[in-house]
Structure 1
Amino acid sequence: MGEYNVVVYTSDSCIHCTKVLELLREWDISFTEKNISQNADFYKEMKEMGVYGAPVTFIDGQQVLGFQKRKLKKYLGIDEVSSYIRQRALSNQN
């Protein structure tokens, strides 16, 4: 899997934000989190891109609104086979 520029705009107490972050960690994807509840500049950035709610994930410029596992996988080049192989390899290490 290649390296991607991944930025996730999140907000406090947002279950869908938490789900996106958990998936990215599970898939071992590096990302930058920008919490709009804690930093007004991040909210302003997000609004300037025409987005008014979190979560929103940008993957090399591709926008994924909300929690959309299939779209995240698509833009990150993750397919079911590679996920299965990666999980098997991890379980064999334990």
Structure 2
Amino acid sequence: MSEAIVYSSTNCHYCAQLKQYLKDQNIAYEERNIDTNPEYAQQLEGMGLMSVPVTVIGGMQILGLNPSRIKKALAAAVAQ
């Protein structure tokens, strides 16, 4: 089971950094590439967001690569 959902795009340098960080931390994630699936772009827009990367963990939306927020969100998700 994925711990996180990552909204990304194909040529996004920050998305690649975020995915590498998650791999390095052994955090399972489901990638949702907005370039390959228009539905994922609509989901992102529905959250009121227009840029990637965005990580969704539990109910938290984390913009960009933000290790401290990712760790807090994972801890909160485990506590539930």
Q: Which runs of 5+ in 2 are unaligned?
A: 76-80
* In 2, Cα distance between equivalents of 1:5 and 1:74: 13
Tell me how many residue pairs correspond in the alignment: 75
Considering only CA atoms, is the larger Rg found in Structure 1 or Structure 2?
A: 1
C-alpha contact (below 8 Å) 2:18/2:65 kept by paired residues: yes
Identity %: 32
Larger strand share, 1 or 2: 2
C-alpha contact (below 8 Å) 1:5/1:59 kept by paired residues: yes
Q: Structure 1: which 4+ aligned runs deviate by more than 2 Å?
A: none
Which one is further off, 66-75 or 26-35? 66-75
The corresponding residue for 1:71 is 69
Note the aligned Cα RMSD (angstroms). Answer: 1.5
C-alpha contact (below 8 Å) 1:59/1:76 kept by paired residues: yes
Q: Pick closer, same or farther for the CA change 1:4–1:75 going to 2, 3 Å.
A: farther
C-alpha contact (below 8 Å) 1:4/1:59 kept by paired residues: no
Q: Which runs of 5+ in 1 are unaligned?
A: 78-94
Q: TM (normalized to structure 2)? A: 0.84
